[in-house]
């Protein structure tokens, strides 16, 4: 069974760390202000707006130390990753989860942070939050649906999301744990110790900026590694800024997904508000949800 970290209460502390790409402090200011407005204390790790001059928010040692400190510190109740990018692959095998397992806390993020979610689910069976990160609070985002859902998820409220019908949806109702995240990361984790089992779960997928043929290849990798055949259901989130080869691939991303799972009969929905698009609601990974897909639309409720 999945272990849920304690939900947050006013006065609790949230650490903001950047285990992957660089994020200037000012890009996190709205996030910090909002979290404080909600009644939380915010701890800023040295990797947020640090002195890095390259792609990463700091060297491997600095990123590892900052994340490790946040995981270990009993006074930190949740860890919000400032942004994704790339970088967790480089430190994941050196993170010590001993204290985190003793005192689980919510780890929040998406995109490259998928690696952390999957690793924690696969190895420690602790729920995490696939949710917007610091930049989502900017440009008025602090009052928007995405950020509001993050607060609801953190504070233990029931989550209830809906999305519009899609011609490729396959109807059905299932109750099962959620798992998933960024498709490229899930493919990258296949064959490693960080790959979470998908059997009996509702898998959600999203991606950004990939070539269509590569989406196809990654889905086939999931399929061929046994990650698509025993699902309880599939949620296709947003797939945005996709690229095509000079010779067109000849199928849309929805068609690619539909074809990759045509051998199975579980319920499937498309266009769910999760991913790098405008809508990206908070999802508790590892936690059971009720997914209902009908001709009228889709609902996903936490149980």
Partner 1 sequence: MNRKNFLTSVLGLGALGPICIDKSKSAAQATPAPPHAQSEPGTSAQNQPLLIPPYLKSGDGIGITCPAGDITVKEIQPAVQLIESWGFKTIAGSTVGKKDFIYGGTDAERLADFQSMLDNPDIKAILCARGGYGSVHLVDQLDFSSLLKYPKWIIGFSDITVLLCHIHANLHIASIHSKMCNSFPDDWSKAEPVQVASILSLRQALSGNEKMQYTATPHPRNRPGAAEGQLVGGNLKTIETLAGTRSDIDTAGKILFVEDTGEYLYSIDRMFWHLQRTGKLDRLSGLIVGGFKVKPDDPGEEFGRTVYDIVTERVGPFGYPVCFDFPVGHQKENYAFKYGVPHTLVVGDQVNLTETTKPILT
Residues that bind partner 1 (CB under 8 A): 21, 53-56, 86, 89-90, 92-93, 187-188, 190-195, 213, 216-218, 220-221, 224-227, 245, 247-251
**Based on CB atoms, which residue is closest to partner 1, 42 or 220?**
220
188 is catalytic: no
**Based on CB atoms, which residue is closest to partner 1, 227 or 280?**
227
**Based on CB atoms, which residue is closest to partner 1, 73 or 255?**
255
Given 206, 227, 238, 292, the catalytic residue: 206
Half-sphere exposure of 248 (CA within 13 A, CB side): 4
Given 111, 149, 163, 302, the catalytic residue: 111
Provide the minimum distance between the beta carbon of 205 and partner 1 in the complex, in angstroms, as a whole number.
Answer: 16
Look up residue 80 and give its DSSP letter: E
Provide the minimum distance between the beta carbon of 258 and partner 1 in the complex, in angstroms, as a whole number.
Answer: 15
117 is catalytic: no
Q: Are 292 and 171 in contact (CB under 8 A)?
A: no
**Based on CB atoms, which residue is closest to partner 1, 175 or 221?**
221
Look up residue 194 and give its DSSP letter: T
111 is catalytic: yes
Q: 104 burial class (0-12, 13-18, 19+ CB within 10 angstroms)?
A: buried
**Structure token digits, residue 176:** 């099962």
Given 119, 130, 276, 289, the catalytic residue: 276
Residue whose entry in the numeric block shows the structure tokens 């609601």: 281
**Nearest CA among 55, 63, 51 for reference residue 25:** 51
Provide the minimum distance between the beta carbon of 91 and partner 1 in the complex, in angstroms, as a whole number.
Answer: 10
Q: How far apart are CA 303 and CA 274, in angstroms?
A: 19
Provide the minimum distance between the beta carbon of 244 and partner 1 in the complex, in angstroms, as a whole number.
Answer: 9
Q: Are 181 and 285 in contact (CB under 8 A)?
A: yes
Residues constituting the chain: 303
Residues forming the active site? 111, 206, 276
């Amino acid at each position: 069974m999945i272990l849920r970290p304690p939900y947050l209460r006013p006065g609790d502390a949230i650490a903001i760390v950047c285990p992957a790409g660089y994020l200037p402090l000012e890009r996190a200011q709205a996030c910090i202000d909002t979290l404080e407005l909600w009644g939380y204390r915010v701890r800023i790790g040295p990797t947020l707006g640090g002195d890095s001059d390259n792609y990463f928010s700091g060297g491997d040692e600095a990123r590892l130390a900052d994340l490790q400190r946040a995981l270990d510190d009993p006074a930190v109740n949740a860890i919000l990753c400032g942004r994704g990018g790339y970088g967790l692959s480089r430190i994941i095998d050196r993170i010590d989860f001993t204290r985190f397992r003793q005192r689980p806390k919510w780890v929040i993020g998406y995109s490259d942070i998928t690696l952390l979610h999957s690793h924690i689910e696969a190895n420690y069976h602790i729920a995490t939050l696939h949710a917007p990160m610091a930049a989502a609070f900017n440009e008025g985002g602090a009052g928007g649906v995405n950020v509001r859902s993050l607060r609801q998820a953190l504070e233990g409220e029931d989550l209830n999301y809906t999305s519009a019908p899609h011609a490729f949806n396959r109807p059905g109702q299932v109750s099962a744990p959620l798992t998933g995240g960024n498709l490229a990361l899930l493919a990258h984790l296949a064959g490693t110790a960080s790959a979470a089992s998908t059997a009996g779960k509702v898998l959600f997928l999203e991606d950004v900026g990939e070539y269509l043929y590569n989406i196809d290849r990654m889905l086939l990798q999931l399929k061929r590694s046994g990650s698509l055949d025993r699902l309880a259901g599939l949620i296709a989130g947003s797939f945005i800024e996709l690229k095509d080869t000079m010779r067109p691939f000849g199928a849309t991303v929805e068609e690619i997904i539909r074809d990759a799972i045509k051998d199975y009969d579980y319920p499937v929905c498309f266009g769910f508000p999760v991913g790098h698009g405008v809508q990206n609601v908070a999802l508790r990974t590892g936690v059971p949800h009720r997914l209902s897909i009908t001709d009228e639309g889709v609902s996903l409720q936490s149980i």
